[in-house]
């Protein structure tokens, strides 16, 4: 008996990185998963691979910036597997070139990131909730980001959208809890997914490494296992929370890395 045996799960942005990890772990633990992604070939390929290993999965096209497309992904899930018990609102975009500081950022990019990162969470939930209510409960899991908890010198729209995802998570939890629908978030720190490795120069990875409490970077499965836990009944009394999975990066005094260097220098002089 798997940890999410028989549950039907829709994972947006499920063809790569964090979404692919969540889809794989959910399928391995007994869920029927729908992998919805802009890259439909990769979504179908991932589902085919899971099926060849004896798990239940389907791939479908999704443009998370379009309301109709989100509706279609939810409808596809229900048409294929009869209901929807778990929704992982995972799609999120970042743009290092256009999403800058408040004065210089591109306003069209602001709107685009708000649509894909935030409105898609509202819409995915809006379309899935009636089926979850009918099914007698469900679990919605939103991929936020540690960027939603701290200020930064750039990526204003990304941080603002993810901060709003954290609060939207609480509103969904408050509004539908009596229907036994839980809504939680997971806020990754830097996770070495294809997107992060493409966007982050090695020097930036080194900076993150220096400020992590733990001596290694996060991997997609670190988030996938959190999603699995939140999807399962093991977390049945947890709702409205966003779990920070960030290697102790933000939980420490921000001076800690520099202070450690300073202490080494003091010791060396003794
Ligand atoms: P990824 O690029 O590896 O995977 C994202 C998937 O979403 C891809 O398969 C892509 O085709 C799909 N996608 C992109 N735009 C889409 C759209 N408009 N409609 C449907 N699908 C679309 O990304 P990763 O790193 O796994 O990120 C997943 C989530 O985790 C995002 O919400 C991201 O903001 C968040 N996150 C990631 C962190 C990291 O360090 N990797 C850190 C904090 C948050």
pLDDT digits (tens, 9 = 90+) for 163-219: 999 999 999 999 999 999 999 999 999 999 988 888 788 898 888 888 898 999 999
pLDDT number for residue 209: 87
Would you say residue 254 has pLDDT above 80? no
Ligand 1: centre distance to CA 227 (Å): 15
What is the best residue among 10, 12, 13, 16 to mutate for testing ligand 1's pocket, by most ligand atoms within 8 Å of CB? 13
Please give the model's pTM, rounded to 2 decimal places.
0.96
Query: CB under 8 Å to 149, separation ≥6 — which residues?
Result: 163, 166, 187, 244, 250
pLDDT number for residue 166: 98
Would you say residue 256 has pLDDT above 80? no
pLDDT number for residue 135: 98
pLDDT single digits (tens) 115-144: 999 999 999 999 999 999 999 999 999 999
Q: Tell which CATH architecture fits domain 8-269.
A: 3-Layer(aba) Sandwich (3.40)
Q: Whose CA is nearest to atom 32 of ligand 1?
A: 92
- Specify the residue for token string 């691979």: 49
pLDDT number for residue 260: 81
The count of other CB atoms within 10 Å of the CB of residue 234 is 12
Token readout for 185 is: 């978030």
pLDDT number for residue 231: 99
Task: Give percent of the chain above pLDDT 90.
Answer: 84
- Reported as a pLDDT band with limits 50, 70 and 90, residue 26 is very high
Query: Could you identify the atom of ligand 1 that is nearest to the CA of residue 13?
Result: 7
pLDDT number for residue 268: 87
What is the best residue among 193, 200, 205 to mutate for testing ligand 1's pocket, by most ligand atoms within 8 Å of CB? 193
Give me the residue spans of the domains in the chain. Answer: 8-269
Q: What is the DSSP string of 204-262?
A: HHHHHHHH-SSSS-B-HHHHHHHHHHHHSGGGTT--S-EEEESTTTTTS-TTHHHHHHH
Would you say residue 155 has pLDDT above 90? yes
Task: Give percent of the chain above pLDDT 70.
Answer: 100
| Annotated catalytic residue 158 | yes
Instruction: Give burial (CB, 10 Å; 0-12/13-18/19+) of 262.
Output: exposed
Higher pLDDT, 56 or 96: 56
pLDDT number for residue 257: 74
What is the best residue among 12, 18, 209 to mutate for testing ligand 1's pocket, by most ligand atoms within 8 Å of CB? 18
Would you say residue 113 has pLDDT above 80? yes
Q: Whose CA is nearest to atom 41 of ligand 1?
A: 191
Residues at CB less than 6 angstroms from ligand 1: 13, 15-19, 37-39, 62-65, 90-93, 116, 143, 145, 188, 190-191, 193-196
Would you say residue 267 has pLDDT above 90? no
- Specify the residue for token string 């794989």: 24
Q: Where are the beta strands (DSSP E) in 90-219?
A: 138-143, 181-188
Query: CB under 8 Å to 244, separation ≥6 — which residues?
Result: 146, 149, 187, 189, 250, 251
Catalytic member of 158, 176, 216, 225: 158
Kind plus residue range of the DSSP H or E element containing 161: helix 156-176
pLDDT number for residue 258: 81
pLDDT number for residue 253: 79
């Amino acid at each position: 008996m798997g940890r999410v045996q028989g549950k039907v799960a829709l994972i947006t942005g499920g063809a790569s990185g964090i979404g692919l990890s969540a889809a794989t772990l959910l399928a391995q633990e007994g869920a029927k998963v729908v992998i919805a992604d802009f890259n439909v070939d990769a979504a179908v390929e991932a589902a085919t691979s899971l099926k060849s290993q004896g798990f239940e999965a389907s791939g479908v096209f999704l443009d998370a910036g379009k309301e109709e497309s989100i509706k279609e992904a939810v409808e596809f899930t229900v048409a294929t597997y009869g209901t929807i018990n778990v929704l992982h609102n995972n799609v999120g975009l970042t743009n290092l070139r256009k999403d800058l500081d408040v004065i210089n950022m591109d306003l069209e990019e602001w709107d685009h990131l708000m649509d894909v990162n935030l409105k898609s969470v509202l819409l995915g939930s809006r379309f899935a909730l009636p089926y979850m209510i009918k099914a007698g409960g469900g679990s919605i899991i939103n991929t936020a980001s540690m960027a939603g908890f701290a200020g930064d010198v750039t990526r204003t729209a990304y941080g603002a959208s993810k901060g709003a995802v954290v609060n939207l998570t609480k509103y969904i939890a408050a509004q539908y809890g009596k229907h036994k629908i839980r809504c939680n978030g997971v806020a990754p720190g830097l996770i070495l997914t294809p997107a992060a490795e493409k966007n982050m120069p090695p020097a930036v990875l080194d900076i993150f490494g220096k400020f992590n409490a733990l001596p290694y970077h996060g991997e997609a499965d670190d988030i996938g296992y959190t999603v699995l836990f939140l999807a399962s009944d093991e977390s049945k009394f947890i709702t409205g929370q966003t779990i920070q999975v960030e290697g102790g990066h933000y939980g420490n005094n921000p001076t800690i890395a520099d202070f450690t260097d300073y202490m080494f220098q003091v010791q060396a002089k003794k």
